[in-house]
Every structure is written in structure tokens, then in C-alpha cells.
Chains A and B, each alone.
Chain A
Amino acid sequence: MKTIDPGAADPGPPGAEPEPADAGAGAGAPGTAAAAVAAAGGGLGRASLWDDAWRELRRRWVFWASAGFLLLVALMAAVPRLFTSTGVNEGCDPNDAKLGPSGAHWFGTDLAGCDYYAHVVHGARPTLLIGVAVTLFAFVIALVFGMLAGYYGGLLDALIARLTDVFFGLPFVLGATVILVAFPSHGIGAMTLVLVLLGWTTMIRIMRAQVIAVRDADYVQAARLLGASDRRIMARHILPNAIAPVIVVATLNVGNVIAGEATLDFLGVGLQYPKVSWGLQLNLAQDSFVDHPHLLIFPAVFLSATVLSFLMLGDAARDALDPKLR
């Protein structure tokens, strides 16, 4: 649907005659993908795109600021005990409900009188875990199927394109709500599954377009003439040249997933009490925001700052990887 050239929807690869005998070749692509990227980054010498990008990134304060904040949040997620000795839903005193920030409770207390700071710290884990896991799954799906669709074209491409259209047309919040209401569990696993199901379409479209853009390049033709197999061409030649924009979108995507997950928590169809997450904190306190703004401010600031960090990281990566805009 995003093709500017209306004729591009028709698969007709000039020069890229699919080898029917090699239909299973793509199955090995994800395994070699990491190796290929590593090789492109480390082995091919100083002139590679990845070295250039890293040199560019190192000079940006935005990169260091967002990476620093994300490191802090990741630390909160991994070892919450470093930041607070209070566990989830521990030491709550209903007599102390909705207190403002003070020395004893840095971020105040919530509706049940629990320490708000402790809950903000513990809320980092589900938020970050879901954001990263969903993106990772969607990234792998995009790499494998975007590559196969773009490289082979034909029926497979048409099938994947239509399937992408179907899921792309589904309204996110409505779709997620229907699935989650039908779902027996509302844990981190279920949330990840639902968000992957509704969020795999963006990256696959970009990957497919990238593969189509490079699949007829001279170096690919040369490799083919030298007798390289389809699998080798995809892993060694196309993948390193097609992956950069997908990585950028993946970084941005972590932020979007986190915001989407928080929205579902906020609507009450996501994670449930006694779990703790930033979206859930905001859901529980939503009727008290007007009189007790600290209930809104603290989870909202951490949530927004985390999303913001991923967005800025993605932007910085895009600037570093796209020499056209330099």
C-alpha cells in the first residue's frame, strides 16, 4: 500500500529467477544473520558503514544521554533491590494513602498506601521486558520473511504482502482489546504475544522494500555469476546491505511497543494487579490525578523518558547510518 510506483506491487524480478530447488534455503538465514552483521562490522576493515556509524554516534551527546538513562532503567529492571528494599505491594498502610512526596516516601504513596517510588522501580521490569521482547520477535520475523518475500517475489511475496495488509488494517487498540479479553492469562508472555501479533507488519514492509532495492545490484549479480547459492547471496550480500533501516525502525519500535503496552495496561485489559507496571499504576490512580498530581507525574515521567530514550537512540542511529542526511 505504500509503494509509490503503482506497478511495483506486481512481482516481476528481472534477472532474479527464483531457483525452485532451493526453496528451503532461507531457513538458515537467521542463524547466519548475526554472523554476517558481525563480519560486516568487525571483519571488513575500517571503511565499513558500521564503523562509520559508531564513530558518528560516539560524538553525539543525545546518544550518551539516552543510552545512560536506558542503562539506569535496565538496572532497575534487572536488580530492583539496588534501588529500593521494599518489595512489590509490601509495607502498604491504607492510613497513609495518597500522601504527597516526603522524606519517608520520595514519590509519595498510592491509593492503597504503598510506597510509590518502590512501585516505579519495580514497574521497570515488565515494561522493558515486553518492549524489547516484542521488538526482537518482530525483528526476526521481518528479517526472515521480508528477505524471502523480497528475494523470491512471486506467490510467496503476494501472500506475505496480503497478510501484512490484513494485519496492518486492524485497529491496534481494538484488536488488542478483543484478543486480550478472550485470552485466559494477562501475564508478560500473553502481552508479548498479542503485541507481536499486531506489531510485526511495519518492519517486514521496510525489510522487503530494502531487499528489493538491493537484490539486482551489481555485486549481487556478480556473486550469482560466480556461482554463489541463494542462501549465501541472501546472508552475505543482501542482508548486510539491507538491514540498517530495519535496525533503526526496530530501535524506534521498542519505544512504540512500550507506549502501546502502557496504553493497554491503562485501559485495564493489560497486566493486572498484583503485577506492577507504569501503565497499571496510571490506570489505578486515574480518578485521583486532579487532586493528587504526583500519582500521574512520577510513572508518567519514567514512562515518557524511557520511550523518549529509545526514540532518540533510533534517531541518532538513523543519522549515523544514513550518510545522505549528514
Chain B
Amino acid sequence: MWRYVLRRLLQAIPVFIGTTLLIYAMVFALPGDPIQALAGDKPIPANVLSTLRDRYNLNDPLLVQYGKYMWGLLQGNLGENYDGQKVADMLGGRWTVTAQLALTAWIFELVIGIALGVWAGLRRGKVADTLVLGGTTLLIAVPVFVLGYTAQILFGLHWQIFPTAGTDDGWPMSYLLPGMVLGSLGLSYVARLTRTSLAENLRADYVRTANAKGLSRARVVGRHALRNSLIPVVTYLGVDFGNLMGGAIVTEGIFNLPGIGQQVFQSIQLKEGPVVVGAVTVLVLIFLLVNLVVDLLYGLLDPRIRYE
């Protein structure tokens, strides 16, 4: 098992370097001089310009810049934005907002998604099944910003069930509606995966054996069929947590939540490279870690899976 973890960690290193280098190169290629952008239209004295460019390693070639950045990262330093602010400070408070939002959405996906999936899977071909399949297809089809505005207008403004925008009411109240909007896509996939996987496993030999042994329906479904059916669902939920953290730009914008997504979106427009690279680097790290945890969870769900 530990050898497997070690091997996976070693495999993650080239992926991590590749992804961060890719994003670094993309930010590097953004047009315009970021130092000049600080001053707007006003001219900057040549010696100030060159000092600042030196300070932020802007005169080095791409790979050297990237190397220096990674060296700082290894020492736990996310770097400094061109206006002198520490990137870690700029992103600090925003991580909690994004994490709360992503977690709300994720729990929503997990609980409601699996519940709907089991409900439909047990009644394959019946009304409940058709209802869940149709409803989730519809949810997948409606783009998240359409869903966001519709939910905001209906639940926030008209019926005033939830706060319209902002984080004034704290967790969970302010995050419920945005969380549901953000999690609706994942919820649909989770429900469909659970449904299909469960319906397939219910026809497997080991379920017939369990039934023949006289086990209760709840035990057959819960302990035998469902546990096996959850492997693709857990895979999806793992991958999706990273997506939720990084994909919340639109939801954060509509509901005016000051999270990572909004900051990064602004920083891209302002060419604040260090902020963009810092945020994406942390996102990629989360993504890789969650994936490793998911792969290790397989063994818990299905004891036949061995790690070597």
C-alpha cells in the first residue's frame, strides 16, 4: 500500500510540473508589460522600470523565471504580486469563501445525488426512474449561469427564501443557494452514475446469491450492491471536488461571493501573473491530492482491489 502511495506521488510530480509550467507559460505570454500596467498611461522612469523588472525576475527567460518561482514555492512562498502585496495574503481570506462554497455544493451532490440515484436504480424503467433521468438531463443542459440567475431571481428576489447575494448571513445560509446552483451539474452526474451502476449490479450473480441466502432487502442493496456500485461515483466525486474549487468563477460572480475565482478572473484581466499562477498552483495541488485519496478509497469499497 505505501509503495503504491509513493509511486502515485512520484507520478504526480511530472503532472504537477507540467500543469504549473503550462499555466506559467500562458501567463508569461499575456500581452502587455505588467509593470507598465501598474502606472496606467503615465510614463515610468527607466531606472524604476528596470529595478522593478529585476525584482520580479521579468528579465529572465521563461524557464529561469519558472525555476525561481518553483524554488520559492518549495520553501512555502507563493510569491509577491507586482504591487508588492504577498500573493498568500491576497488569496488567504478568499480560500475560505471558495472552500465553503465548494464544500456546500459537494455535500449537496453527494447526499441528494446518491439518494436520487438509488431511488431511480431500484425502480429501473418505472416512473421514478424516468423522472430522475429526465430531470437530471435537463439540469445538465441548462448552463450554470442561466440556472444561477433564474434561481437568484426566483428564490432570492421573488420568494425571498434565500439571501440574494453576498456573504452577510455566513455559512450555511449565504452558501445554500449558490452551492445548489454550483452543485447541480455534479448532482446530475452522480445520480445518473449511481442509478446505472446500481441497476447493473442488482442483476449480478452475487446479488442473486445474497438474495438466495435470505438476506433482507436493505442488506442486499446497502451492503452488497450499493457498495460495489459506488466506485464510479466516488471517482467522479473526487475529480469533481477540484472542478468545484476551480469552476466557481461564474457562481461567485452571480452571487457576489468574494472567492478565488473572482480574484483570479480579475487578476487575469490586470495581468497579475503571480496571483493567477499562485491560485492555479494550489488548485492543481488540491486536484492531485483528492485524486490520490479517491484511488485509495477504492480498496475500502471493494476489498478485492489490492494496491501493489
| A interface, CB within 8 angstroms of B | 1-2, 4-7, 9, 162-163, 165-167, 169-175, 177-179, 181-182, 184, 255, 259, 262-263, 266-267, 279, 282, 286, 289-290, 293, 296, 300, 303-305, 307-308, 311-312, 315, 324-325
Which chain A residues border B142 with CB–CB below 8 Å?
Answer: 300, 304, 307
The answer to whether A267 and B250 touch across the interface, beta carbons within 8 angstroms, is yes
Could you mark each residue 283-294 of chain B with 1 if its beta carbon is under 8 Å from any beta carbon of chain A, else 0? 110011001000
Interface string of B268-306 (1 = CB under 8 A from A): 110000001001100110011001000100100000011
Query: Can you list 11 A-B pairs, Cβ within 8 angstroms, ordered by A?
Result: A163-B18, A166-B19, A169-B288, A170-B22, A171-B243, A263-B144, A266-B145, A282-B146, A289-B149, A311-B137, A325-B196
Cα(A82)–Cα(B280), bound, Å: 46
CB of B215 to closest CB in A, whole Å: 25
Residues of A within 8 A of B169 (CB): none
A296 lies within 8 A of B149 (CB): yes
What's the least CB distance linking A125 to chain B, in Å?
Answer: 18
Enumerate chain A residues within 8 angstroms of B247, measured Cβ to Cβ.
Answer: 171-173
Please report the total number of B residues contacting A with Cβ < 8 Å. 61
Inter-subunit contact A169/B146 (CB<8 Å)? no
Partner of A267, one of B29, B196, B249, B305: B249
Contact A282 B145 (CB under 8 A): yes
8 A Cβ contacts from B233-288 to A: 235, 239, 242-243, 245-247, 249-250, 253, 261, 264-265, 268-269, 276, 279-280, 283-284, 287-288
Q: Is B200 part of the contact surface with A, judged by Cβ < 8 Å?
A: yes
Q: Once the chains bind, are A304 and B280 in contact (CB under 8 Å)?
A: no
Which residue from chain B places its CB closest to the CB of A252 in the assembled complex?
B140
Q: Is the CB of A170 within 8 A of B23?
A: yes
Given A6-B307, A166-B15, A312-B137 in contact, is the A262-B143 Cβ separation under 8 Å?
A: yes
A179 touches B26 (CB 8 A): yes
A175–B261 alpha-carbon span in the complex (Å) = 12
Contact of A263 among B133, B145, B149, B295 (CB under 8 A): B145
Which A residues touch B288, using CB under 8 A? Answer: 169
B249 touches A174 (CB 8 A): yes
Residue B308 at the chain A interface, CB threshold 8 Å: yes
Are A181 and B30 closer than 8 Å at their CB atoms? yes
Contact check: which of A4, A174, A293, A324 meets B153 at CB < 8 Å?
Answer: A293
